[in-house]
Structure 1
């Protein structure tokens, strides 16, 4: 949630505001209710899994990403081959948010193998 007064700040001040924890994130249930009330489409959700099932090894995460998201569901250009960028992992309360990028895991594995 972004307060209206924040929108009039300079980009540098907005950056500082965010870095200092100014931006609030709604829990998933509240976000869903708000999106329905306001008629706003949410980003794609591909599923819910317990944190204990999120892969912790590079190879496992690369395989997990390839399995969970074989193609993108939000291609901006058809000539890109619908290759997915990655997925965003969030706790239900949205207290922790991270992006797992397929390309990052592939690069890490190539570096590890010396290719």
Structure 2
């Protein structure tokens, strides 16, 4: 029997850092952007919930949320949390047919599940129809089951996972029959605005979602920036920039204290 706690920890998706450094005290941003050299790919940050499909070398699969495993191939009853299993089971069954050969002991597909009425931002995407988009794939080496759970957690939290490049990500998406999150632009890293105000203006051109399932498209959550080899990745959320700039504006309007 595989150690499910280790599988769960090995395959959890790490937090993506904000493009401008986040102040942990108040959620504002510092004037410290992520450093990109060469091409930067901008993708839509779809506002849903993270799901993962884990392929094992024996052809079995598991489906999980960001934190928990929800079901596995052969299960009669599954955890219905946020509609993740219902949305991803057909994808898992198709993905299992490609195997994990050449990738590692486990191959993990990370998908954003969105649009369902179980999710807060569903109205931005349509009338409540669930949908999904692939945004990352990782392979897990076959020697890591010998590690203890604390070592695994530290490895994951310090960026140890081996993620697919843009080319491989798109190839795998085609093989399992899913779409990736929308690619918005490619730009040289030197041309990205370095300051917070400039970045917020830049983001304005990408305010509406491109993945609405019906009706008029609503707002998206932001932009994910990534190098083609995924060596650097960061997220730019509209709410972070708007909160920071609002605080700056309010601070500028406050009268200065007069010293006596």
Q: How does 1:89-100 map to 2 (within 5 A)?
A: 89-100=225-236
Structure richer in helix, relative to its length: 1
Greater RCO, 1 or 2 (C-alpha within 8 Å, sep 6+): 2
Deviation at 1:59, TM superposition (A): 1.1
Where 2:223 maps in the other structure, the secondary structure is: strand
Aligned residues: 109
Where 1:114 maps in the other structure, the secondary structure is: helix
Q: How does 1:59-70 map to 2 (within 5 A)?
A: 59-67=197-205, 69-70=206-207
Counterpart of 2:220 (choices 84, 91, 94) is: 84
Counterpart of 1:32 (choices 165, 170, 176) is: 170
CA RMSD of aligned residues (A): 3.0
Flag structure 1 segments of 5+ consecutive residues without an equivalent. Answer: none
Deviation at 1:2, TM superposition (A): 3.9
Task: Calculate the TM-score normalised by the size of structure 1.
Answer: 0.76
Counterpart of 1:23 (choices 158, 161, 168) is: 161
Flag structure 2 segments of 5+ consecutive residues without an equivalent. Answer: 1-137, 252-260
Task: Calculate the TM-score normalised by the size of structure 2.
Answer: 0.37
Structure richer in strand, relative to its length: 2
Greater CA radius of gyration, 1 or 2?
Answer: 2
